[in-house]
Chain A
């Protein structure tokens, strides 16, 4: 199966700092990547859809200036949480869609963010 990596796996930062999370498709090209947020014991909540070479599409209620997404290549998308606050603490998961594999999304291992 396709492999997606995510870095860092966890990060602790002070309130007010910015945090960048990288998502890479290792063995396939992903024209579309997705960013999710997951709260404990809940399902995944889609934050935005990232398309290579174009602006991300954000879900309703997600602040685009707060969560900056860049998808500069077919294998890399980044999520930057700007001026992070404690309420941004969460588990962030990216996924990449391999268009040749029946619309399947493959997921990264996730990033745990704790903002102090």
Chain B
């Protein structure tokens, strides 16, 4: 069965610094997608970034980038130049035959 693991329940970062959130997954499927979603205090789930498993190139979206290691089944999110508005719960998600969420990482940004 597919699972998504986020081993860091809480993380903090100084404003303007860089932070990396970890995510690992388990799957026997060869074709799938990976996502990072952000859930701020408003609780609106916002898509941050997505990665197709068949693409070797790591996805980037402005200050957000991923380190996708397919063989290791690892999909970490790097946030550069952290801003106060980045404070939120971050969920890693897997989409193959089914969709799975990780347990989330709560990110605090320190001014």
Contacts and interface: CB of A to CB of B under 8 A. Distances in A.
A109 interface: yes
* Tier of interface size on chain B: 10 to 19
Contacts of B95: 103-105
A109 B35 contact: no
Interface string B82-111: 000000000101010001011110000000
A109 B40 CA distance: 11
A108 to B, nearest CB: 8
A106 B47 contact: yes
A71 to B, nearest CB: 17
Contact of B44 (A42, A46, A107): A107
Contacts of A104: 33, 35, 47, 50, 95
B104 A109 contact: no
A95 B104 contact: no
Interface in A75-107: 91, 93, 95, 102-107
Interface residues of A, number: 18
A60 to B, nearest CB: 13
Nearest to B46: A107
A72 to B, nearest CB: 23
Contacts of A95: 45
Interface of B: 33, 35, 37, 42-47, 50, 52, 91, 93, 95, 99, 101-104
14 contacts: A38-B43, A42-B103, A42-B104, A43-B91, A43-B103, A43-B104, A44-B91, A91-B43, A102-B52, A103-B95, A104-B35, A104-B50, A104-B95, A106-B47
